Amino acid sequence: MTAGTRRRRFVPPQHGAWAMLTVPYVAGLLAAGYRWPDLPLLVAWLAGYLLSYFVFQALKSRRPGRYRAQLLLYAGIAAPAAALVVAARPAVLWYAPAYAILFGVNAWYAWRRRERATLNGLVSVAQSCLIALVVATVAARPPARALDTFLLCLAYFAGTVLYVKTMIRERGSAAHRRWSIAYHALALAGAARLGPWAAGLFALLLLRAAVLPGRGWPPIRVGLLEIANSVLLLVCVALAAR
């Protein structure tokens, strides 16, 4: 087995997922500050995602043995890292029920082989954005300290789920485009209360949701624009935390 084949076997081909994992985590750090348990938290967070991906693949394929190596590897990384975070900040366990429920929804969609469903994508967004509140708890800050950060990330990534569908899988659907535009208009109204930087970002997001669908952009170009938007989101969080 070549190195490239081994990498593809253990690393999911889900490029957009990495932004959804890392941006809310970094946003939480910007809002609440860094503490040493944030490092094992990051390890547990990333390994936990990889573990969940292969759990869902096992459910979808009905062949768990096919993914035994991946499940054992990522469980072996995630479990001790998570245990270290819990030992340092037991309060993070308050988030366990929410993650369990959201994980259960994702697992149900995987079992039904409907993981591309819009609702499943929005559930994954909620899971990812909750990490901003977990980071605040690790920093011994009240979750309210990172609530605006959580809401900004949630609003951005939920909109991205809708917008990307209009650019790729549902690019010919007028209904999906209307839903995306309507959502972004509501998100702009909500973001305006958080300050001019957030309002400016969501005005740009509304513009791209209204103008870009139908232009035939390839997925790589769509992804690069969302990377730039993710950076702008972090800038807004940093400015709000000053």
Q: What angle do CA 149, 151, 153 make, to 5 degrees?
A: 70
Q: What is the pLDDT of residues 11-57, one digit of tens each?
A: 887 777 889 999 999 999 999 999 999 999 999 999 999 999 999 99
Per-residue pLDDT for 228 more than 90? yes
Burial class (CB in 10 A: 0-12, 13-18, 19+), 147: middle
Q: What is the pLDDT of residues 103-122, one digit of tens each?
A: 999 999 999 999 999 999 99
Q: In the Cβ-directed half-sphere of 127, how many Cα atoms lie within 13 Å?
A: 24
- pLDDT on residue 75: 97
Rounded distance, CA 109 to CA 67, Å? 18
Q: What is the pLDDT of residues 182-214, one digit of tens each?
A: 999 999 999 988 888 999 999 999 999 999 998
- pLDDT on residue 194: 83
Confidence at 3, pLDDT banded by 50, 70, 90: low
Given a contact cutoff of 8 angstroms between Cβ atoms, the answer to whether 176 and 162 are in contact is yes
Q: What is the mean pLDDT of residues 140-160?
A: 93
- pLDDT on residue 13: 77
Confidence at 7, pLDDT banded by 50, 70, 90: low
Confidence at 148, pLDDT banded by 50, 70, 90: very high
Rounded distance, CA 48 to CA 81, Å? 10
Q: What is the pLDDT of residues 65-93, one digit of tens each?
A: 899 999 999 999 999 999 999 999 999 99
Given a contact cutoff of 8 angstroms between Cβ atoms, the answer to whether 45 and 131 are in contact is yes
Q: What is the mean pLDDT of residues 208-230?
A: 93
Rounded distance, CA 54 to CA 120, Å? 16
- pLDDT on residue 6: 64
- The pTM for the full model equals 0.93
- pLDDT on residue 1: 52
Q: Output the DSSP codes for 15-81.
A: HHHHHHHHHHHHHHHHHH---TTHHHHHHHHHHHHHHHHHHHHHHHHT-GGGGHHHHHHHHHHHHHH
- pLDDT on residue 9: 83
Per-residue pLDDT for 5 more than 60? no
Rounded distance, CA 18 to CA 24, Å? 11
Give the chain's end-to-end CA distance (angstroms, integer). Answer: 50
- pLDDT on residue 15: 75
Per-residue pLDDT for 102 more than 60? yes
